[in-house]
Amino acid sequence: MVKIYKCSRNGNFMRIVCLEGCSGTGKTTQHKLLGEYYKKSSLKHLSIVEKDYEPFRTIVRKWYEKGGPRIPFTREVITEFAKARVETFSRNFSGLEKEIDFLLMDRYFYTSAVYQRGIGLKPSEILQLNLDYGAPLPNLTFLFDCDSEVCFDRAQERNKRTGKGYLFSISPEKVEEIRKVYIELTLGMKEVKIVDANKSVKDITNYLTSEINGLF
C-alpha cells in the first residue's frame, strides 16, 4: 500500500512533486528556479535531492565505491536502494506535513526504475518494488523530454564546466535509449506530465508553476 503523508494543518495531503528525465534536460535548473519561486509564495515547500540525505546517500556512495555503473543491478542491490529510500523518507521527512505544503524532488524512484534495469528486474517491476516497500507515490511528476542530441551536448558542456562526469550520458545513442525507457515506463500514468524541454527556460518555469499551483 502506498504511503501518503497527511497534512494535519488543512486536512489535505502534503503533496510530492518530482522532476524526472535524462541528464541534460534541464531538471536541475528548473529545480533551482522553482525553489526560488516558492520561497516568495504562500505555499511552503522543501526542495530536496534524495542522495543528499541519509541513509540513501550512504547507499549511493557505497555503489560508486564498488564501481558504479560497472556493478550489475541485481535484485539484491535494487532492493537495498528501495529500502534505503523508504528509510530516508521516514527519517528525514516524516512530520513535515505540519510545516510544508509539498516536497519538490530532483529525481526519485523513476530514476531507479530506468537506470537500474537489467539483470535483476524490469523498470516497471523496480517501480512496483519501491511502492511495495512503502515509498510514497508523487502527486505530480514532470518528465523532461527533449532531443537526445541536445541532452548529450548539454551534459557534455556541463561536464566541462563543473568537472563532473554524467556516467550514463556517454553517447547520444545511450541517451536516446534511456529516454525511450522513461517514456515507456510512464505511459498512461495520470500523475506524470511530459515537459517539452526544448522550450525556453522561462516558458518551462511558467508551465511548471501553473501545474503545481493547480494542486492546491
At 72-111, the pLDDT tens digits run 788 988 999 999 999 999 999 988 888 999 999 999 999 9
Contacts 24+ apart (CB under 8 A), 5-14: 5/93, 5/94, 5/96, 5/97, 5/136, 6/97, 7/97, 7/98, 7/101, 8/97, 8/98, 9/97, 9/98, 13/97, 13/139, 14/96, 14/97, 14/100, 14/101, 14/102, 14/103
Confidence class for position 6, pLDDT limits 50, 70, 90 = very low
pTM of the entire structure? Answer: 0.88
Q: What is the pLDDT of residue 152?
A: 84
- If we measure between CA atoms, which residue out of 151, 213, 214 comes closest to residue 182? 151
Range of the domain at 32: 15-213
Q: Is residue 36 part of a domain?
A: yes
Q: How far apart are CA 214 and CA 216, in angstroms?
A: 5
How many C-beta neighbours within 10 Å does residue 47 have? 16
- If we measure between CA atoms, which residue out of 141, 16, 162 comes closest to residue 89? 16
Q: Is residue 194 part of a domain?
A: yes
Q: Is residue 100 part of a domain?
A: yes
104 beta partners: 17, 47
Q: What is the pLDDT of residue 73?
A: 85
Above 60 in pLDDT, residue 200?
yes
Q: Is residue 1 part of a domain?
A: no
Residue 1 DSSP one-character state: -
**Contact status, residue 216 vs residue 101, Cβ threshold 8 Å:** yes
**Contact status, residue 76 vs residue 119, Cβ threshold 8 Å:** no
* 141-159 mean pLDDT: 86
CATH number at residue 207: 3.40.50.300
Q: Is residue 157 part of a domain?
A: yes
The count of domains in the chain is 1
Q: Is residue 34 part of a domain?
A: yes
pLDDT digits (tens, 9 = 90+) for 21-40: 998 899 999 999 999 999 99
Q: Is residue 6 part of a domain?
A: no
Above 60 in pLDDT, residue 151?
yes
Above 80 in pLDDT, residue 10?
no
Q: What is the mean pLDDT of the chain?
A: 86
Above 80 in pLDDT, residue 123?
yes
Above 60 in pLDDT, residue 2?
no
**3-state DSSP call for residue 48?**
strand
**Which amino acid, one-letter code, is at 18?**
C
Q: Is residue 52 part of a domain?
A: yes
